Structures are given as C-alpha cells and as structure tokens.
Amino acid sequence: MNRHRTKFYRDKANGKFMGVCAGIADYIGIEVLWIRLAFVVLTLSGIGGGPTVILYFALGFLAENKPQSLYADVEEQKFWQGVRQSPARTAREVRAQFRDLDRRLAEVEAYYVSSNPRLAAEIEELR
C-alpha cells in the first residue's frame, strides 16, 4: 500500500488554526464542518473538554503538513479515502473493475476476430 497516501496529515491549506480538523476530515473523507462542530461540542461539553484540546494540540504539533501534490485529482483523493476507510472493500472494487475491463476486452477481441477471418487465423497461428 502507498504509505504516504494513507497517513494522517495536517491540512493547513484548508484549515483554520493548525489544520487538524481539516486533516481529520481529509483522512476520513467527510466534510470539515462536521469535524469542527464535533470538536466544539466535545470541547464545550463536560465529557471531553480538556482531553480534546490536549489531543488537538498534540496532533497539531506531531503530525506532518499535507504535501501539496498528494493527490492528482479529486477522484484519486476519494479513492485513497476509501482505502483508509475500508481496504478490503476497495480491493474488491478494484478487482471487479479489472474483471469488467477484461470482459470488455474479450468482447472487443471476439468482435474483431469474428468479423475478420484472416486476423482470426493469424491469432490462432500465434497460439
């Protein structure tokens, strides 16, 4: 697996203070607004006030900044977020895409071979 694409990074480009909430949102693939709201609620409630702030600053100081060219496009970003969420499901999806591609290539080959007897004979000769 591509380790630098499955690692947690602070996202200072999309972040407000240290980029921790934006990094968490990028890591798990949800909207950063929900992470910020959860942080505020946990901080203001009696449940996680102190530990939440300590964890935020610890992540802010220990995590690396997100590289500028981590993803080529939005589709690649969504793929790697899916890998982080469920590697087994992503592997099944990739296998299914390869099976579909193989089936489509076989259909193309069958079409060209059936419509071109000379090409079919050459392919059979190579086997």
Range of the domain at 108: 86-127
Residues whose CB is less than 8 angstroms from the CB of residue 64 and which lie 6 or more positions away in sequence, other chains included: 7, 9, 10
Does residue 63 lie within any of the structural domains? Answer: yes
* Domain membership flag for residue 79: no
If one counts the domains in the chain, the total is: 2
- Does the pTM surpass 0.75? The reply is no
Same domain flag for 47 and 109: no
Q: Identify the CA nearest to 60 among candidates 27, 23, 101, 109.
A: 23
Q: Is 76 domain-assigned? A: no
pLDDT at 71: 66
Residue 67 DSSP SS3: coil
- Predicted confidence (pLDDT) per residue in 90-116, tens digit: 677 778 888 889 888 888 887 776 777
Model confidence band, residue 2 (pLDDT cutoffs 50, 70, 90): low
pLDDT, tens digit, 9 for 90 and up, residues 51-85: 778 888 887 888 777 766 666 666 776 776 666 66
Report whether pLDDT(26) > 80: no
Residues 96 and 59 both lie in one domain = no
Does 80 reside within a domain?
no
Q: Are the C-beta atoms of residues 70 and 3 closer than 8 Å to each other?
A: no
Alpha carbons 72 and 70: distance in angstroms, whole number: 7
* Range 115-122 average pLDDT: 76
Same domain, 66 and 90: no
Residues 3 and 30 reside in one and the same domain: yes
Q: What is the structure's pLDDT at 1?
A: 46
